[in-house]
Amino acid sequence: MTEQALNFKEMCTRFDVTPRTLRYYEYIELLSPQRDGRNRTYTAREIARMTLILRGRRFGFSLEEIRQWLEIYERQGTTAQNQAWVELAARKLEELRTEHSQLGETIDDLQKLHDTIAAQI
């Protein structure tokens, strides 16, 4: 294998994903490795896509959102993809800020209850 291509096992190792995850990403057409019989070769394109997929998952995007975003690049190019990314990121940031605020309130409520009960015992 060249430095620009990985086999199935190397791809799993590099990205710390299970074989099942990698096969699923192929099944839902997020990745399209080159095939030679049962052997798969992941080119620089697939490696870059996997990096973006995992980053998107880390940020909380659904696989469908990621798939659609990757499709924009295939159909319309980098500028359109970047514009779509800015819109997606803005929505996700607002969603995360709301969740963060709600989580802060929950933590405060739990802390008060904890302190009240701890003082009683």
Please report whether residue 107 resides in a domain. no
Residue 3 pLDDT grade (very low, low, confident, very high; cuts 50, 70, 90) = low
1-10, 48-57, 90-99: the lowest-pLDDT one: 1-10
Please report whether residue 121 resides in a domain. no
Please report whether residue 105 resides in a domain. no
Please report whether residue 120 resides in a domain. no
Dist. CA 121–CA 104, nearest whole Å:
26
User: Phi and psi for 39 in degrees, rounded to 5?
Assistant: -85, 140
For residue range 21-42, list pLDDT tens digits in order.
999 999 999 999 999 988 999 9
Residue 4 pLDDT grade (very low, low, confident, very high; cuts 50, 70, 90) = confident
Which pTM value belongs to this model?
A: 0.81
- Give the DSSP H or E segment for 57: helix 44-58
At 16, which CATH number? 1.10.1660.10
Please report whether residue 34 resides in a domain. yes
